[in-house]
Amino acid sequence: MTGLDPHDALVIDVRSLPRRPGSMVMVTRTAQAPADFGVAMARVPEGSPIDLDLRLESVLEGVLVTGTADVVIGAECSRCLDPFEWHEEFDLTELFRYPATDARGAEVLEPEDSEDPLPFVQDDLIDLAPVLRDAVVLDLPLAPLCGEDCLGLCPTCGFRLEDDPTHAHESNDPRWAALTALLEDGDPSETL
C-alpha cells in the first residue's frame, strides 16, 4: 500500500498508459486545492478549483507529465492590504520514474543517492500534489500589488490613500526642528 488515494483528483492512475515509449494519454480534470497552498500574502484558496490539462507520455525511464494548471490566486495587496484575486495558468513538467525491478520483475529498493530524487510511479499511481505545489508556490509574488499605481496607506494614520490621494498629515522631521524654530522667529535669511 502506497498511501496514495486513487480517488483523489490530484492522484492519476497510469494503468491505461502502455509502458511503450511514445505512448501518450491526455488527462483533463478539475481538482480541489489542498490546504496551505501558498505564501504569506498570496495563496490558492483551499477548496478552489484547479483545472488540469495534462499529457502523460510513456518514456523509457517512466511517465513524463506535461501540461498546465489553471488556478485562482487570492492575495492581499502589500501596499493597501485590500484582498484581490486573479486567475493564473502554470506550466507543469515532471518525470515520474518507474520503480527499479530485478530480472523477475519484482521491485527492488534503490539507495537514495540524489538530494532531489525524481518522484516514483507507485502502484501505477502518480501524485501531482507536490509537483503542483512546487510550480505554483514558487511562482507566487511575495509582495503582491492590486495595481501598479496603488497608493497604499498613510504611514501616519493608516488612511487608504486611494480614497483621497490629497490626504496628508503635517509631519516634521525632528532632526529639522531647530531650523523650523528659526523660521518661526522671523529669521532675516528667510527673505533671501
- Cα distances from 18 to residues 97, 161, 185, in angstroms, run 14, 60, 91
pTM over the 0.75 mark: no
pLDDT band, residue 1 (cuts 50/70/90): very low
- Residue 132: is its pLDDT beyond 90? yes
The domain segmentation of the chain, as residue ranges, is 11-137, 151-192
pLDDT band at 63 (very low <50, low <70, confident <90, very high): very high
Q: How much is the pLDDT for 111?
A: 55
Question: Amino acid identity of 118?
Answer: L
Tell me: the pLDDT tens digits for 18-51? 888 889 999 999 999 988 888 889 999 999 999 9
Rounded Cα–Cα distance for residues 91 and 95 (Å): 14
Q: What is the largest CA-CA distance in the chain?
A: 101
What's CA 72's distance to the chain center, in Å? 10
**What distance in Å separates the CA atoms of residue 92 and residue 97, rounded to the nearest whole number?**
16
Cα–Cα distance for residue pair 189/186, rounded to 1 Å: 9
* Pick from 4-18, 52-66, 104-118, 122-136: least confident: 104-118
**pLDDT at 108 exceeding the cut of 70:** no
Residue 180 phi/psi, 5-degree rounding, is -65, -40
Total residue length of the chain: 192
Nearest to 121 by CA among 8, 19, 7: 19
Residue 168 has pLDDT above 60, yes or no: yes
